[in-house]
Amino acid sequence: MRTDARENRERILRAAREAFAEQLTECAGAPDEALEDPDPWRGFHAVFRKVCAMQAADRGFTHAFLSRFPDETAFAGERDRAEKGLALLVRRAQGARALRPDLDVPDVVLVLPANRSVVNAAGADAAAAPRRLVGYQLESFRAGLSAGPLPPPAGIELEGLTGVR
């Protein structure tokens, strides 16, 4: 029976690797691309929006990327790569005084479950609601005064947050 469970786990991990290989590479490489941008704020902004948009587009990928699969090094390695790139991006943007000096990588990571919750609860506004949340978050991360308008508001009501419609 233990062999069956182990084989099932291996089959699930293999399927997850195959299903999400492209997205995994894209997500983990997002900070690398952002670091190539000569404007640290624009690079940070781009990677933050991209990851949150990917999260909204494919909920299964987000779960797979954030989960800790036992003995799974592909996801763990790419997660570590993304986190190191994000830390470098944050330090670079802070050095340019584009990000709050008290911002840390866990502050950015904290937005991922919030964004996932908004995506899951938004229903028909599943595209607009995360953009609005991300807009608020980006403005709260920015050093100094707000420089731009937020995306348009989403039509979410408290009743919709329960997940029952």
pLDDT at 160: 54
Provide the pLDDT for residue 41: 93
Residue 103 C-beta-side C-alpha neighbours within 13 Å? 28
Instruction: Encode the chain (165 residues) as per-residue pLDDT tens digits.
Output: 567 877 877 777 677 667 666 777 777 788 888 899 999 999 998 988 888 888 777 766 666 655 555 455 666 777 788 888 989 999 999 999 999 888 888 888 888 888 888 888 877 777 778 888 888 888 889 888 665 666 776 666 655 555 544
pLDDT of residue 164: 47
Instruction: Record the pTM.
Output: 0.71
What is the per-residue pLDDT for 27? Answer: 74
pLDDT value at residue 67: 58
